């Protein structure tokens, strides 16, 4: 009995303590503490291709963790874009050009009658020449001072000035240009100059949906970076609206503006996958870049001042399907009847070209080149482009109900 009286206060203290612990536990379950107070790390938003989106382990959370292919180490405020630009940005340059354009005076001003009334001094005050200035971008690909850019950036330039990312300025010399691919090589004197070099990637490995980072000097704003994705691949130059080129562009929604031309298009790892070259004035958020593998194949020739080979036949063509042919043949106003097959329809044969010499005619349908079936104009153009100057190609053409084999010897495009 005395023992019970002795432990009674101890029991009361134990019951009160248990009551307080249970109460705290219930309160925490109803009103959970903030993540930081509970020891839970907050979810960070990191950038990565859309295919890598995944839900966090906490199924109750509505946030998504967007991770980059190569997670940025250290400061979590840095992104893969920052890392990519830090890697290539120093190698991006601004290219300023000047060229002289001669102007003819209006014939009215040359008339002696004008001189009698207004005097000869007025005519002498009108400038006969004008200096035109342009601006674009480029990037260093070799420590010897080799810079890649667009041919149209340095077209007919009398003077080229290259400004490095750090502000150093050098005179540039155009080593070579190729209008067909819109590529050019400019060289600067790099004696005792340590140049940063851009890392070149593999444009054949690019996939739709990959990150695309455009770097350049648009509208005169130096060192500008825009971010988007690769919208599509192998967009033909004809579809873009520049049929005089022979290119399959990388299409991106990264903002590309005048002045971006010649600058690099990067992937998420900071490798150059393309050269920004074209925009569509009638479309928002669409830009185009030359695949870097195209530049890799010919830049050494341009640096040596050599002409790049571009075999051609000399025809204007369009893809033909049985449905299109059938619709044409049922039209009473059709100018010609074409075979109802899949192939490439010849719309025009240019004079004094290999096609004319081989006997190709308007209305012919080309269905094979060297036993390889062709059904699109782009496919035929690629086969010709990959041939050699002077190589004889065997074409199977359908002319009405007849099938003919014609031998065409390719020639250099610039020769015509």
Active site residues: 152, 182, 261
> Cβ distance 338 to 326 under 8 Å?
no
Q: What Å distances lie between residue 377 and 101, 236, 305, 313, 362, CA to CA?
A: 38, 10, 31, 12, 15
Contacts of 264 (CB under 8 A, 6+ apart): 88, 92, 139, 198, 214, 215, 216, 272, 274, 275, 276
Q: DSSP letters along 68-130, please?
A: -SSPPPS-TT--HHHHHHHHHGGGEEEEEEEEEEE-PPPHHHHSHHHHHHH-HHHHHHS-SEE
Q: Give backbone dihedrals phi and psi of 343, rounded to 5 degrees, phi first.
A: 180, -160
Query: DSSP character for 245?
Result: S
Give the distance from CA 53 to its chain's centroid. Answer: 25
Q: How far is the C-alpha of 161 from the C-alpha of 95, rounded, in Å? A: 6
Beta pairing class for 402-409 and 365-369: unpaired
Residue 62's SS3 state is coil
The H-or-E segment that residue 248 falls in is strand 248-252
Task: Give the whole-angstrom CA distance, residue 144 versus residue 194.
Answer: 9
**Residue listed under structure tokens 């080979």:** 309
- Of 360, 361, 318, 323, the residue nearest 343 (C-alpha): 318
* C-alpha to C-alpha distance for 156 and 215, rounded to whole angstroms: 25
């Amino acid at each position: 009995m005395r023992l019970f009286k002795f432990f009674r206060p101890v029991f009361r203290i134990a019951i009160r303590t248990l009551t307080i612990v249970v109460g705290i536990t219930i309160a925490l379950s109803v009103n959970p503490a903030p993540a930081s107070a509970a020891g839970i790390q907050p979810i960070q938003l990191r950038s990565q291709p859309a295919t890598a989106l995944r839900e966090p382990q906490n199924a109750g959370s509505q946030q998504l963790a967007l991770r980059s292919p190569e997670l940025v180490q250290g400061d979590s405020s840095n992104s893969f874009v920052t890392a990519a630009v830090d890697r290539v940005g120093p190698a991006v340059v601004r290219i300023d050009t000047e060229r002289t354009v001669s102007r003819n005076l209006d014939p009215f001003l040359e008339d002696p009658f004008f001189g009698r009334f207004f005097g000869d001094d007025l005519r002498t005050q009108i400038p006969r020449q004008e200096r035109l200035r342009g601006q674009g971008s480029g990037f260093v690909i070799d420590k010897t001072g080799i810079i890649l850019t667009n041919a149209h950036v340095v077209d007919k330039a009398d003077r080229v000035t290259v400004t490095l990312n750090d502000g150093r300025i050098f005179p540039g010399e155009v080593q070579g240009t190729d209008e067909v691919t819109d590529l050019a090589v400019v060289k600067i004197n790099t004696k005792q100059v340590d140049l940063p070099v851009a890392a070149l990637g593999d444009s054949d490995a690019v996939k739709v949906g990959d990150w695309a980072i455009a770097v350049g000097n648009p509208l005169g704003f130096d060192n500008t970076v825009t971010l988007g994705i690769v919208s599509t691949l192998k967009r033909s130059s004809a579809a873009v609206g520049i049929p005089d080129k022979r290119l399959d562009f990388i299409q991106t929604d990264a903002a590309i503006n005048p002045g971006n031309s010649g600058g690099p298009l990067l992937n998420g790892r900071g490798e150059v996958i393309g050269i920004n070259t074209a925009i569509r004035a009638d479309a928002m958020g669409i830009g185009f870049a030359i695949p870097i593998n195209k530049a890799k194949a010919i830049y050494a020739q341009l640096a040596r001042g050599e002409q790049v080979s571009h075999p051609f036949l000399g025809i204007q063509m369009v893809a033909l399907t049985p449905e299109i042919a059938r619709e044409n043949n049922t039209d009473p106003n059709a100018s010609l009847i074409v075979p109802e097959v899949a192939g490439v329809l010849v719309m025009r044969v240019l004079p004094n070209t290999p096609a004319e010499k081989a006997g190709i005619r308007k209305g012919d349908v080309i269905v094979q080149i060297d036993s390889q079936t062709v059904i699109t104009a782009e496919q035929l153009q690629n086969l010709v482009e990959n041939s050699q100057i002077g190589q004889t190609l065997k074409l199977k053409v359908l002319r009405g109900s007849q099938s003919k084999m014609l031998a065409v010897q390719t020639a250099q495009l610039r020769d015509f």
